[in-house]
Amino acid sequence: MDSPSAAFTKELSRRHRQKDIRFLEALAILEALRCFSPLWAGPRRVVQHIDLIPIRVSSTANVLADALSRRRFAFIQQQYPRAFALLCFNTVDAAHSPLPPSFLGTSGLSAAATFLLWNGLAASTRARSTPVCSDFATFASSRCCHPFPASETLLIEWVAAQHTASKTYGSIKRDLAIIKSWHIDLGLSTVVFDSKHLARVVRGLKRVIGDPLPVAKLALTLPLLHQLLRALPTVCPSQHNRRMFRATFCLAFACFLHSGELTWEAQGADNMLMVGSVSFAADKSFATVTIPASKTDPFRRGATLAAPAVQLSTCAVSALDVVCRSRPSSAPLFILEGDRPFDRSSFVATLHQCLTTCGIEPSAYSGHSFRRGAATWAASNGIDNDTIRGLGCWWSKCFRRYINKSAADRAATTKVVLYTNTSAPLSLDTVAWRDL
């Protein structure tokens, strides 16, 4: 160990981080063999000594990196400087998805160009698309066809096979789009996807199995938000966590946000809110929050939102003031006790527990219920569509889908429109105009 000739690093997969020490030691042996065995000439005896201490590699944005991990790296650097110099850490920004070696070999481009091509889509999109293309390649192989570029006949037969496997129309359309996307990645023609023959088959699929609308989650309006906050002390015994969830619930409603804009999975995530993201007016009459990135802002232009101070228990300004007080601006705005990530699963689980405590079925609510609830509550108070769209930072008319109206409201509107005037004359025996 005093003079090592080689060293390697390996990031532990998230699915293995809760495994016991014996599993992790066996995994370390396996990874070492996978790394070095291709370099050996012929059979040989191998002796491995394992002394495993899990450590966390900090990033430039991870100001709360574990102090123990820092000391471990310092120890390695001091005791084994040559080995430390051989280690290579992944310094790619968390916003970028790592480039698979297999993709580099098939793109036909330089490594730099392939890296940009790969990151032309979000990491989550890449994660969903890879299994689809693998299944498509297997299907093509079973028919002795080459999957890329795909032929019109192969795509049609694949659609039929998906129908036989009881896939929904929406999932088949999505998978077709994924296969088309891979053609774009590989620099292949996508003309076959515009085939009228294929379009007719897809239309036949839609007519046969239908395309029902997705079941929308319910809106979480102001009265329900009051109930959730009253339930928090029962659900969250930790005062720290209770403050975090109160602030996120109030902020999500006040600024038309969904859970993905408030939660984070790992330190350094591109959408991670920091304490410095919040600014308070001098008189604390409002607070501004800068959202660095979101699902609808993949290029990280950022958006600055304003939350007003109100004399209610649901005031986002007072909740944020409690969270931000005496904390450095570089610290994560929302973080759970024990420096655990404020992830989406924790957010939704706590929301559902609060709903259950209130005697409400939680399955009809999700992380989008706050955004939907704010839009619905604003509309019920007579706010015009343009104002709602501006407050929610919607760029299109899709915000209309977030406004829920009850059957009673629709019946009242119909009554006013059709039955208010019951006897006025309407002459249709003259020239009439029609709006085109």
pTM above 0.85, yes or no: no
179 pLDDT above the threshold of 70: yes
Q: Could you give phi then psi for residue 252, rounded to 5 degrees? A: -60, -40
Interval 378-432: pLDDT, tens: 888 888 888 877 777 776 666 666 666 667 777 777 777 666 777 766 666 666 6
Residue 291, classified by CB atoms within 10 Å of its CB into exposed (0-12), middle (13-18) or buried (19+), is buried
Question: Alpha-carbon distance 257 to 297, whole Å?
Answer: 13
Residue 207's identity, in one-letter code, is: R
Task: Give the model's pLDDT for residue 124.
Answer: 74
Is 277 in contact with 302 (CB distance < 8 Å)?
Answer: no
More confident residue, 75 or 122: 122
Buried/exposed code over 85-118 (b: 16+ C-beta within 10 A; e: otherwise): eeeeeeeeebbebebeeebbeebeeeeeebbebb
Average pLDDT, the chain: 80
Q: Name the token pair of 381.
A: 């108070």
Residue 434's identity, in one-letter code, is: R
> The domain 222-407 is classified under which CATH number: 2.40.50.100, 3.40.50.12160, 1.10.443.10, 3.30.70.580?
1.10.443.10
Residue 137's identity, in one-letter code, is: A
Interval 157-177: pLDDT, tens: 999 999 999 999 999 999 999
DSSP designation for 405: -
Q: Could you give phi then psi for residue 9, rounded to 5 degrees? A: -125, 155
Question: Alpha-carbon distance 257 to 403, whole Å?
Answer: 14
Buried/exposed code over 224-257 (b: 16+ C-beta within 10 A; e: otherwise): bbeebbebbeebbeeeebbbbbbbbbbbbbbbbb
More confident residue, 197 or 412: 197
Which one, of 224, 246, 237, 136, lies nearest residue 182 by Cα? 136
Domain chopping of the chain, boundaries: 14-86, 122-209, 222-407
Question: Alpha-carbon distance 376 to 144, whole Å?
Answer: 54
Residue 425, classified by CB atoms within 10 Å of its CB into exposed (0-12), middle (13-18) or buried (19+), is exposed
**Mean pLDDT computed over 82-101:** 56
Task: Give the model's pLDDT for residue 139.
Answer: 92
Which one, of 309, 272, 277, lies nearest residue 293 by Cα? 272
Q: Name the token pair of 378.
A: 């604003």
**Mean pLDDT computed over 15-36:** 75
Interval 214-269: pLDDT, tens: 777 888 999 999 999 999 999 999 999 999 999 999 999 998 888 888 888 766 56
Percent of residues, the chain, with pLDDT higher than 70: 73
Domain 122-209 belongs to what topology? DNA polymerase; domain 1 (1.10.150)
Q: Name the token pair of 38.
A: 């291709």
Task: Give the model's pLDDT for residue 171.
Answer: 92
Task: Give the model's pLDDT for residue 42.
Answer: 67
